[in-house]
Chain A
């Protein structure tokens, strides 16, 4: 089963995305900050990652750079609120495959995932 890691400090977003993804037949693992994302990624080797940018401890951008450091093939999609365009540019330059703007459209999330999973 294809495994997706959902990373967001807002519990609501994690639950909402997990519900969407499991409904589409994906297995989901969760992390609630950038630091935890790195640990969960190493432990569970997800096929793709949906990750918020603004988080405590380690931001999504920092976690992206670290994950790509030990797995250059990591398929990471950033979740962003409007107003974070400069961080989105940095994320894409740092290897993020795509980004989804909140409030997210479920179809847009699924389309972005299918694209990165090939």
Chain B
């Protein structure tokens, strides 16, 4: 069962942070529910959520979009997805997740997040096992950033009992 209360804070936070960092509105596309394995984009930022709600948040984007986003954030053109750009995109994912757990806290869910993990390279498979994924495309002037949320309440619906590591495999 996918809870809107758990997912909305991430979607709203992503919109707010992107607006703040890029100065443009992110338009939300059609939400999709996926139960199959997640296949990575050029770049995927992965942040784990633990506490009253648990799961993972993934932010996928292309190299082109990432370079444009980092260029805007830094105020100078970045043409290569180098160490600096990797740090910038990871920080973006970190800030979005940080904002979201503050909103979750206000809604009564005490949660914490991991440091972000950056997966570079298209086609790796990430399984969230029995947690369905909600996929939210966010379109900006700099390209599309796809938010993937696999989060559920712990304690209810066998939440904690289902705790398992993520499985990441090659394409």
Contact = CB atoms under 8 A, between A and B. Distances in A.
A12 B88 contact: yes
Interface string A83-118: 111000000000000000011010000000000000
Contacts of B90: 10, 12
Interface residues of A, number: 16
B99 A10 contact: no
A102 B74 contact: no
Interface in A1-33: 10-13, 15-16, 19
B165 interface: no
A12 B17 contact: no
Contacts of A82: 95, 98-99, 101-102
Given A16-B73, A83-B105, A83-B113, A103 B20 contact: yes
Interface residues of B, number: 25
A19 B75 CA distance: 9
Contact of A15 (B17, B21, B74, B95): B74
Contacts of A19: 74-76
Chain A CB count within 10 A is highest, among B76, B98, B112, B113, for: B98
Interface of B: 17, 20-21, 70, 73-76, 83-85, 87-88, 90-91, 94-95, 98-99, 101-102, 105, 112-113, 115
Interface of A: 10-13, 15-16, 19, 54, 81-85, 102-103, 105
